[in-house]
Structure 1
Amino acid sequence: MVRLSNSLVGILNLVTFVLSIPILSAGIWLLKRASTECDKFFERPVIVLGVFLMLISLAGLIGACCRISWLLWLYLFVMFLLIVLLFCFTVFAFVVTNKGAGEALSGRGYKEYRLGNYSRWLQKRFNSTQNWNKIKSCLSDSTVCSNFQAMYASDTIEEFYTEHLSAFQSGCCKPSNDCNFTYVSPIVWNKPAVSVYSNPDCNTWDNDPKVLCYNCQSCKAGLVQNIKNDWKKVAVVNIIFLLFLVVVYSVGCCAFKNNREENRHRGQGALLK
């Protein structure tokens, strides 16, 4: 039983260690290729994840194979914290992303998004001037809206209205449907000479490719919708990963208990001699 539990912990952590190598390598490669601070910001967590997996798997592997009880205890302690954190994040992700959705428009292939439809926690984070200025800087550096322009540049207004746009494209790369601007191209819309708008985003729109609707509430809502979709996918993956961690943790507990018993028996045998 001792050998079986230790072997299982060793094998599982060997697999985790092997998986951590491409994760860490990919993070370093992406960081070197990053052209902006925004790119680097998104690649650093990948490196942190790779290093964490490598260290924790090494602790479990050495602790199980070499029967080092204190290293196994440290491994199990970190695993327990990871399980608790993942469980809390998964519950939080489902709660925060439970509210909000795009609004379907008559005669349009895309939806439009309102920040007020989403959870207060997400609204607060995206309405923070400090947070949004950093995000806006990343949006200006990105090629999403320029690719959007190239993709639909040949569309007539009727064709454009039938396109199935992403939440980001709908919220950040074009003006709101409420504005009734004159269509020139996907990211160029002419405003009427004099008009009063019920939607403040209409006054915020600018044809400058670096500005567009990046200051609009609809852009914030589009990003929130993307985050909502991503978090729900992550939460589902987390559930599967949590089940895997619980199994590994249970086997690790058995290995730790068996190691202690074996060490105690050895100690008693040494005393008898």
Structure 2
Amino acid sequence: MAVSNSITAILNFIIFLSSIPVIAAGIWLASKPDNECIQLLRWPVVVLGGLLLIGSLVGFIGAYCNRPGLLAVYLFFMAVLIILLLIVLIIAFTATRHNGGSHPVAGTRFQEYRLDGYSSWLRHHVTSSGSWPSVRTCLAVSDVCRKLNREFSSTEQYFATDISPLQSGCCKPPAACGYKYENPTTWENPENPRADPDCLLWSNERSKLCYDCDGCKAGLLENLRQEWRKANGVLVVAVVVLIFVYLVACAAYKNAQIQNISVRYKHGWI
């Protein structure tokens, strides 16, 4: 077996092993409450991890057994996979390149968020009038806000804890509205509520809370931004490794073709 074939086989075996944590990371990402409610963003990492696993197996077998046909299939498969990864990377970077619309809340460890701090593409695909009703319904039946009541038993404990952006935006009224805390999802109405639409949208009813608030939409976008920024690092490494392996595999394919022609010539088949 030629040196390039050996290297390709070894690299693809490593990629096969590496695809397992990629799939695991994708499942973790898909299980997050925000991604559970946005089908478009839920499964791409899992799907790409699965394709990576299949492609690495084909490449390993083709290189190890010196099969030009399998290597040709593998090269085409990997080219498509690299293109898909680049597309996902471009979308992810475009959607997460903004620094977010966060601002601190005095007297607490958590922050609140504004919609104008996020990319217009992400706002359109997640918080538009056509998309939000289904996302809102999903969030309302999730455990995002309910678990706050289980986690915090006192006012001091609640305000001293850094809750998630999604919980900050959806599970409580904006701090500027002047609502008085009773428990994480129950707040006493102020005597003179502000005219901010989010202040008027808050409800102590468990199915409503602040799920219709712009602050809830912004908190969801911040959760997505943070999670996908972590995923971006994995995707960048995957693209660099795949391009390197692809170049080595091209050399292995060329060697396999040359060896195949030599064998046929030796036996008088050509």
Taking structure 1 as the reference length, what is the TM-score of the superposition? 0.82
Residue 163 (str. 1) matches residue 155 (str. 2) = no
C-alpha distance after superposition, 1:19-39 (max 9, x if no partner): 5568779999xx9xxxxx869
Check whether the contact 2:101–2:116 (CA below 8 A) recurs between aligned residues.
Answer: no
Name the counterpart of 2:90: 91
- Cα distance 1:27–1:87, how it changes in 2: closer, same or farther (>3 A)? closer
Q: 2: CA distance between counterparts of 1:39 and 1:128? A: 12
Identity of aligned residues (%): 38
Name the counterpart of 2:211: 214
Q: Give 1:228 deviation, angstroms.
A: 0.8
C-alpha distance after superposition, 1:90-133 (max 9, x if no partner): 23322321222311233332211011221111111122234222
Q: 2: CA distance between counterparts of 1:40 and 1:72? A: 34
Q: Give 1:170 deviation, angstroms.
A: 0.8
Name the counterpart of 1:129: 129
Q: Pick from 198, 201, 221: which aligns with 2:198?
A: 201
Check whether the contact 2:48–2:85 (CA below 8 A) recurs between aligned residues.
Answer: no
Q: Give 1:51 deviation, angstroms.
A: 4.1
Q: Please state whether the residue corresponding to 2:182 is helix, strand or coil.
A: strand
Q: Structure 2: any 5+ residue segments left out of the alignment?
A: 31-35
Q: Please state whether the residue corresponding to 1:144 is helix, strand or coil.
A: coil
Residue 230 (str. 1) matches residue 227 (str. 2) = yes
Q: Give 1:45 deviation, angstroms.
A: 5.7
Name the counterpart of 1:267: 264
Check whether the contact 1:153–1:186 (CA below 8 A) recurs between aligned residues.
Answer: no
Name the counterpart of 1:34: none
Q: 2: CA distance between counterparts of 1:233 and 1:48? A: 17
Deviation larger for 111-120 or 145-154 = 145-154
Name the counterpart of 2:68: 69
- Cα distance 1:239–1:132, how it changes in 2: closer, same or farther (>3 A)? same
Q: 2: CA distance between counterparts of 1:113 and 1:25? A: 30
C-alpha distance after superposition, 1:50-103 (max 9, x if no partner): 542342122212211222212211211221222233233323322321222311
Check whether the contact 1:97–1:232 (CA below 8 A) recurs between aligned residues.
Answer: yes
Name the counterpart of 1:150: 150
Q: 1: CA distance between counterparts of 2:92 and 2:38? A: 24
Q: Give 1:151 deviation, angstroms.
A: 1.8
C-alpha distance after superposition, 1:128-187 (max 9, x if no partner): 23422222232123212122122223124xx54443222112111111112111221111
**Residue identity opposite 1:177 in structure 2:** A
Q: 1: CA distance between counterparts of 2:40 and 2:232? A: 22
Deviation larger for 247-256 or 96-105 = 96-105
1:44-63 to structure 2, matched below 5 A, reads 48-49=47-48, 51-63=50-62
Name the counterpart of 1:254: 251
Q: Please state whether the residue corresponding to 1:184 is helix, strand or coil.
A: strand
Q: Give 1:256 deviation, angstroms.
A: 0.5
Q: 1: CA distance between counterparts of 2:97 and 2:20? A: 35
Q: 1: CA distance between counterparts of 2:97 and 2:23? A: 33
Name the counterpart of 1:180: 178
Q: 1: CA distance between counterparts of 2:193 and 2:159? A: 23
Deviation larger for 61-70 or 109-118 = 61-70
Count of equivalent residues: 262
**Residue identity opposite 2:183 in structure 1:** S
TM-align CA RMSD: 3.2
Taking structure 2 as the reference length, what is the TM-score of the superposition? 0.83
- Cα distance 1:192–1:24, how it changes in 2: closer, same or farther (>3 A)? closer
Name the counterpart of 2:33: none
Q: Please state whether the residue corresponding to 2:162 is helix, strand or coil.
A: coil
Q: Please state whether the residue corresponding to 2:211 is helix, strand or coil.
A: coil
**Residue identity opposite 1:227 in structure 2:** L
**Residue identity opposite 2:57 in structure 1:** L
Q: 2: CA distance between counterparts of 1:105 and 1:56? A: 48
